[in-house]
Amino acid sequence: MLHKFKHLTALRAVISGDVDESRQTLKKFSHDASLFELKPQVVVYPRDTEDVEALVRYVAQRKKHEPGISLTARSGGTDMSGGSINDSIIMAFDRYFNKIGRVHGNTLSAQPGVYYHDFEPVTLASGLIMPSYPASREICMIGGMVANNAGGEKSLVYGKVERYVTRTKIVLRDGKEYEIEPLTGSKLKAQLADRSTLGDIYRRVYRLLHAHHKLIAAHRPKVSKNSTGYNIFDAWDGKTLDLNKLIVGSQGTLGIVTEATFRLVENKPLTGMCVVFMPNMDNLGHIINDLLPLKPSSLESFDEHTLKFAFRFFFTFHRTLGWKKFILLGLSFIPVLDKLIKYLPRLPKLILLVEFEGETQEEIDKKIEEVTYRLSQYDVEVQRARDKKHEEKFWLMRRESFNLLRKNVKKKHTAPFIDDLVVPPKHLPDFLPQLTAILERYELLYTVAGHVGDGNFHIIPLMDLTKKSERDKIPGCLREVTELVLKYEGSLSGEHNDGMIRGPFLGDMYPAEIIEIFREIKQIFDPQNIFNPHKKIDATWEYSSQHMRKSFE
């Protein structure tokens, strides 16, 4: 534990940025979007890379005599796994590390404190986009997207952030910033011979991954998206060693990323969407498998609870949109009511958003006609979106679903502990009824949203965490859902990562040999455990459960 008062003067002497110990700040940074609470000793706002380097050296020098001292990087604080909280030093990037570069060819660099909603307009001005943005696109930052290996509504076609990070700048354990790029051939050979800290890391990682290449390949998760452990599965392919594959998704446990460069792709503005209103979820698994051969660019969902919250708290959308767009959105909702009337007094159980991209309108029209044909055998209502404004109201509900719950439900707290499970779509017809049975047995009120085309479901229980009886439901339900996901060859996290909630269960998903490789990766990069402890590979349920939130304040 950091001895706060002894260090405040020293920290202010070490960096040119800000050092904040106020009660209000420490309370704010005690939480992210998870169900955990960890009160930091101090929050620092580094002004530049030199500050970050100085902070890493400061902690490294004191680690021997103060084992509890550590650094946790934080950008937007929207992490749902507890990955951005810490009981020592929080390094907040939102105040000063918010610079965006210029588009060069098809790449763009940005610092971790940049909001994605500021990053995207720069790419769109060049007709390009970084397509792996999450649903929290209006409130998340670049740093968290890299740390968690984010994905989103377009990941069905485009994959996740790991596919688009071409270079990072990162401060490693020696307190120096290095540039990381994929290396092969003579460049890799030269780096392996280098005597710097980075050279040491390259040599040890190379030996580890090369020696266990077949073992690692044999245990690659059998899902389309995965954010558990460290991505040892793609870091070494026999020719190219790319440490960025380990850094992306590491939740700041290997070093402090100060900049990331993204490969961009052509933005395809020509899209078409149809909305599927489902009175129940009985045939969801079959419907998804019927739609996937059509290759939709997005296959998303949100449930009746989200729809209710969207109507109930409709007026809060102006904070996201601004008043002009908000009024236009309100007018565009009127036609939707015609479709919803047939479900009254109950709303549709689930709403699917099926979107297609294409080179011509004719191509998109044929796909949407095929959706209508294929779903005619089911008891569902299919509505084609007329235009972009029509589409946007559904995207807004989908993207804002978690935010609506987090900010507006009184006396119940969002409890994301089974919030990011992934199961191969072929198993969904068998998996979903068993999942529902578990949730009902624990008498949970929950919402369902997610990237159903990937078999990736975001299930968010709403719980009164002030009650011990409610908190006591979490370990048992988590254990049962974990076992069910793994029974059907799934992953515990597709996007939200391990943090404090799934880190303790990595040993259930991977064999001991793979866990040991994960541990060795952490040891190679961070032998002193300077960076973000109690997350991912060194997380324990005993520690996590002791820091579960018990209030809404």
Residue-wise pLDDT for 74-125, tens only, equals 999 999 999 999 999 999 999 999 999 999 999 999 999 999 999 999 999 9
Q: Output the six-digit token pair for 550.
A: 């018990």
Q: Is 322 exposed, middle or buried (0-12, 13-18, 19+ CB in 10 A)?
A: exposed
Give the number of C-alpha atoms closer than 13 A to the C-alpha of residue 189, restricted to the C-beta side: 2
**CB 32 within 8 Å of CB 82:** yes
**CB 232 within 8 Å of CB 515:** no
**CB 547 within 8 Å of CB 36:** yes
Question: Distance between CA atoms of 89 and 157, rounded to whole angstroms?
Answer: 39
Conformation bin of residue 529: beta by default, left when phi > 0, alpha when psi is -120 to 50: left
Kind of pairing between the strands at 165-171 and 256-263: antiparallel
Average pLDDT for 30-34 = 93
User: Among candidates 75, 74, 79, 92, which has minimal Cα distance to 34?
Assistant: 79
pLDDT band for 388, please (50, 70, 90 cuts): low
**CB 253 within 8 Å of CB 532:** yes
pLDDT band for 341, please (50, 70, 90 cuts): very low
**CB 163 within 8 Å of CB 146:** no
> Would you say how long the chain is, in residues?
553
pLDDT of 364 > 80? The answer is yes
Backbone dihedral angles phi then psi of residue 112, each to the nearest 5 degrees: -65, -20
- Min mean pLDDT across 51-55, 390-394, 507-511, 544-548 is at 390-394
The structural domains of the chain, ordered by start, are: 107-266 (3.30.465.10), 268-407 (3.30.70.2190)
DSSP 8-state assignment for residue 257: E
How confident is the model at residue 406, as a pLDDT? 54
Give the best-scoring range by mean pLDDT among 83-92, 308-317, 360-369. Answer: 83-92
Backbone dihedral angles phi then psi of residue 422, each to the nearest 5 degrees: -135, 130
How confident is the model at residue 383, as a pLDDT? 86
Report the amino acid identity of residue 551.
S
Sign of the CA dihedral with 508 first, then 510, 513, and 514 last: negative
**CB 203 within 8 Å of CB 165:** no
**CB 44 within 8 Å of CB 88:** no
Residue 379: CB atoms within 10 Å: 10
**CB 150 within 8 Å of CB 161:** yes
Question: Distance between CA atoms of 286 and 1, rounded to whole angstroms?
Answer: 52
Question: Distance between CA atoms of 399 and 198, rounded to whole angstroms?
Answer: 39
- Min mean pLDDT across 142-146, 189-193, 350-354, 545-549 is at 350-354
What b-and-e string marks burial along 494-507, b requiring 16 or more CB atoms within 10 Å of the CB? bbbbbbbbbbbbbe
243-281 tens-digit pLDDT? 999 999 999 999 999 999 999 999 987 889 898 989 888
How confident is the model at residue 77, as a pLDDT? 92
How confident is the model at residue 323, as a pLDDT? 44
Express as a percent the part of the chain with pLDDT over 90: 70
